[in-house]
Amino acid sequence: MPLSNPYSVTSSPESANVDSDKLAQVVDRARREVDEGLLPSAQIAIAREGRLVLFETFGDATNDSLYCVFSSTKAITSAAAWLLIEAGELSTDEVVAAIVPEFGTNGKDVITVEQLFLHSSGFPHAPFHPTDWPDRDRRYARFAQWRLNWEPGSQFEYHPSSSMWVVAEIVERRSGRDFTEFVRTEIADPLGLSDLHLGLPAGEHPRVAEIVHCGEPMTSEDYARLGLPEPPVTEVTEDAILSFNRPEIRAVPVAGGGGIMSAADLALFYQGLLHGGSVVGRRVWKDETLRMARAVRSGDLRDPVTGVPVNRALGVVIAGDSWRNMRGFAHGNSAEAFGHGGAGGQIAWADPATGISVGYCTNGHDRNPMRLGRRGVSISNRVADVTVA
**What digits encode the pLDDT tens for the residues 256-273?**
999 999 999 999 999 999
CB of 301 closer than 8 Å to CB of 309: yes
Average pLDDT of the chain, as a whole number = 94
Under DSSP, the state recorded for 184 is: I
Residue 335 banded pLDDT, cuts 50, 70, 90 = very high
What integer pLDDT is reported at residue 221 of this predicted model?
87
Pairing of strands 364-366, 212-214: parallel
pLDDT surpasses 90 at 277: no
Count Cβ atoms below 10 Å from residue 1 Cβ, excluding itself.
Answer: 7
> What is the set of domains in the chain, with CATH numbers?
13-73+193-383 (3.40.710.10), 79-179 (no CATH)
Segment 10-28 shows an average pLDDT of 96
Segment 305-330 shows an average pLDDT of 94
Segment 292-321 shows an average pLDDT of 95
Q: Which residue has the higher pLDDT, 107 or 6?
A: 107
Spatial distance between the Cα atoms of 335 and 44, rounded to a whole number of angstroms: 23
**What element of type H or E holds 96?**
none
Alpha carbon distances (Å) from 179 to 115, 166, 173, 239: 20, 11, 9, 25
What integer pLDDT is reported at residue 236 of this predicted model?
77
**What digits encode the pLDDT tens for the residues 220-244?**
888 888 887 777 777 778 999 999 9
pLDDT surpasses 70 at 92: yes
What integer pLDDT is reported at residue 229 of this predicted model?
77
pLDDT surpasses 50 at 8: yes
Residue 20 banded pLDDT, cuts 50, 70, 90 = very high
What integer pLDDT is reported at residue 127 of this predicted model?
85
C-alpha angle 369-273-89 in degrees, rounded to nearest 5: 110
